[in-house]
Structure 1
Amino acid sequence: MDKDLYLHGLVRKLETSSPLQSEERDQLLRLPLTLKQFESGLDIVSEGERTKQCCLVAEGLVCRYKIVGDGQRQILSLHLPGDIPDIHSLLIEVMDHNLGTLTPATVGLIPHEAVRSLTRSYYRIAEAFWRETLVEAAIYREWMVGIGRRSAPSRIAHLFCEFITKMTAIGLSDGKTCELPLTQPEIADALGLSTVHMNKKLREIRQAGLVRLRANRLTILDWAGLCRLAEFDPDYLHLRETHPRK
């Protein structure tokens, strides 16, 4: 496996919101990276665990999640290649949620000390990581509004809009279609819905001619209509470039 390829993915992800200079890119590409493969449905880091490395998503789809008292799961966020979903572990010693795989995944482990050394030497890289955490906070706020106040169809549509916008930003979608390797129960877990209710409302969105979801592939058939249903405005993603669709 090509470690440089995955570190290039990190650089590309950071540059979706923070411009970097050539020297800063070079330093990021020199980070030590130990690759580890995980099957689907496994924890990368568990709640209560102390870690000495950050996890770079190299391949696959990863999520943060919590398990409540009756055993139900709430997915808190989705993470794509190039993300470091536990960058906060540099400062928060004990994990307060689980980080797990939704698909088979390859994760690059980067020692905390290597990241600390880099951010101490290059303040713009430190700012880029800090900006990533702020963007994640903005996404959390949007998800909270969705779960608290949006209808089920609007929540589903918003998830689709957000996912394909983020995939487009990192070069994994043309803005109209992308891989969406989520089961319907996983979508329900992300949106705070029962699987039965989610299935019913997803069927309505399909019948309205807004999307096609087949064999884990999402195709947007009516972007404007989907955005209206979702009340989707991509500003909260704070991307440097937008990807307009017709």
Structure 2
Amino acid sequence: MLPGDLCDPHIFLLDRMDHTIGALTPLTVAQIPGPAFQSLVERSASLAYAFRREGLSAIAIQREWTVSLGRRSGIERLAHLFCELYWRLAAVGLTDGGSCPFPLTQNDLADVLGQTSVHINRTLQELRSMGLVALRGRRLTIHDQTGLAELAYFDPVYLHFTQKAGQ
């Protein structure tokens, strides 16, 4: 989840959550009780549409992650993650030039990408030596967006932005 993302807005439809949620950074949470949420959506067609669209986007991102874990090489996975996070943060105004916040550690990246932290370290070194990215002070800087996207086979269409982001 990134700033502004909705976290399981329809979870109240289930008897019990089947997962846990944790945070890597400080955050602010707003919780809407299920009946109040349902009432809001029923009263507003545009709000109902927005939540349906958000749900479809979340599913599309999940599909892309399944492809990443099943078909992409280690360097392609990491490059794809960097592209996705940068584009999603750019869409909500949280990038600065080619740079964005990046609070993940190498151990976090290893967990997310199904790799060892040693492999992540080597892959980061390779991306740096290719002149594509830099990670310093909990910030990601993408030096060559086109090159990184090509390496990752990244096509932002699955993010379903209505406006161009990331550039």
Task: Tell me the TM-score range normalised by the shorter chain.
Answer: over 0.9
Aligned position for 2:57: 135
1:177–1:110 Cα change, 3 Å: same
Measured after TM superposition, the shift of residue 196 of structure 1 is: 1.0
Matching residue within 160, 170, 182 for 2:82: 160
Q: Which amino acid aligns with 1:230?
A: A
Q: Secondary structure at the match of 2:28?
A: strand
| Residues 90 and 112 in structure 1, CA contact (< 8 A), matched pair in contact too | yes
Q: Compute the TM-score of the two structures, normalised by the length of structure 1.
A: 0.65
Aligned position for 1:82: 4
Higher relative contact order (CA 8 A, sep 6+): 2
Q: Distance in 2 between the 1:206 and 1:109 partners?
A: 40
Kindly indicate which of the two structures has a greater share of residues assigned to helix: 2
Measured after TM superposition, the shift of residue 85 of structure 1 is: 1.3
Following TM superposition, the consecutive aligned residue runs of length 4 or more in structure 1 with deviations greater than 3 angstroms are none
Q: Distance in 2 between the 1:90 and 1:124 partners?
A: 21
Measured after TM superposition, the shift of residue 179 of structure 1 is: 0.4
Please say if 1:205 is aligned against 2:133.
no
Please list, as runs of the form range in 1=range in 2, the aligned pairs for 1:171-190 lying within 5 A after superposition.
171-174=93-96, 176-190=98-112
Where does structure 2 lack aligned partners over 5 or more consecutive residues?
none
Aligned position for 1:224: 146
Aligned position for 1:124: 46
| Residues 90 and 166 in structure 2, CA contact (< 8 A), matched pair in contact too | no
Q: Compute the TM-score of the two structures, normalised by the length of structure 2.
A: 0.95
Number of residue pairs aligned between Structure 1 and Structure 2: 167
Measured after TM superposition, the shift of residue 244 of structure 1 is: 5.5
Q: Distance in 2 between the 1:191 and 1:182 partners?
A: 12
Please say if 1:107 is aligned against 2:29.
yes
Aligned position for 1:147: 69
Measured after TM superposition, the shift of residue 240 of structure 1 is: 0.4
Aligned position for 1:14: none
Kindly indicate which of the two structures has a greater share of residues assigned to strand: 1
Q: Which amino acid aligns with 1:219?
A: T
User: For residues 66-114 of structure 1, what are the alpha-carbon distances to aligned partners after superposition, in whole Å with 9 as ceiling and x for unaligned?
Assistant: xxxxxxxxxxxxx112111111313223111111111122211222222
User: For residues 32-76 of structure 1, what are the alpha-carbon distances to aligned partners after superposition, in whole Å with 9 as ceiling and x for unaligned?
Assistant: xxxxxxxxxxxxxxxxxxxxxxxxxxxxxxxxxxxxxxxxxxxxx
Measured after TM superposition, the shift of residue 175 of structure 1 is: 5.2
Q: Distance in 2 between the 1:205 and 1:187 partners?
A: 14
Aligned position for 1:56: none
Q: Distance in 1 between the 2:165 and 2:96 partners?
A: 9
Q: Which amino acid aligns with 1:100?
A: G
